[in-house]
Amino acid sequence: MPDSRVKPGGSRMAVRLAASLLFAAAQAALAVEPELSAVGAAVATGSDLLETSIVAEKLELVGLDGLESRYPSELSGGMKKRVGLARALVSNPNYILYDEPTTGLDPIMSDSIDNLIMDLGTKLNVTSVVVTHDMYSVKNVADNVAMIHDGKMYFVGKPQDLLTSDDPVIIDFIKRTGV
């Protein structure tokens, strides 16, 4: 197997990610007037595309069709994360950045979010970048994977190569994730 670790002096791409960048949008969108803003209004917030049909379409894409009039207190954690994603989809992006999309979710909801990420990639022809420590999600959604260690790109390759690596740093990381 070829050595997939990034070599010193090689090209690097620096990416700074805000914690829960995409999915925090659900709480931010719903926090304006938490108990007064329905989901449909939260999806449309920050957009000039206020048409009901667009809001309904984006909510349907994330499996929340018909829930436009629900209030935040009526939504589960997974539903709130999907509202944030629907809000991001209003702009019809070419790329979607998911920062720890399964954090705080039970295994069944985590699988549901993984499936949603894959489905949206196919349906919308978007590129997904998923930042996660969840090795189950890595196995489920990744075509390619990069691992950062000590602030540097340490591994770039296929998920299977990461999961079967004999590198001690990678083995220790995977062991700590419970896989």
Per-residue pLDDT at 32: 38
Per-residue pLDDT at 125: 94
Bridge-partner residues for 146, per DSSP? 156
Per-domain residue ranges for the chain? 24-142, 143-179
Query: What pLDDT, in 10s, does the model give residues 66-105?
Result: 888 888 888 888 888 888 888 888 888 899 999 999 888 8
Per-residue pLDDT at 23: 38
Confidence class of residue 39 from pLDDT cuts 50, 70 and 90? low
Confidence class of residue 40 from pLDDT cuts 50, 70 and 90? low
Per-residue pLDDT at 136: 92
The answer to whether residues 97 and 131 touch, using CB atoms and an 8 Å cutoff, is: yes
Whether 36 has a pLDDT exceeding 60, the answer reads no
0.75 exceeded by the pTM?
A: no
Per-residue pLDDT at 116: 94
- Please report the sign of the dihedral spanned by the C-alpha atoms of residue 64, residue 69, residue 75, residue 80: positive
Query: What pLDDT, in 10s, does the model give residues 117-168?
Result: 999 999 999 999 999 999 999 999 999 999 999 999 999 999 999 999 999 9
The answer to whether residues 157 and 4 touch, using CB atoms and an 8 Å cutoff, is: yes
Task: Residues 24-142: name the CATH superfamily.
Answer: P-loop containing nucleotide triphosphate hydrolases (3.40.50.300)
Q: How many CB atoms lie within 10 A of CB 10?
A: 9
Query: What pLDDT, in 10s, does the model give residues 105-118?
Result: 889 989 999 999 99
Q: Which has more confidence, 1 or 149?
A: 149
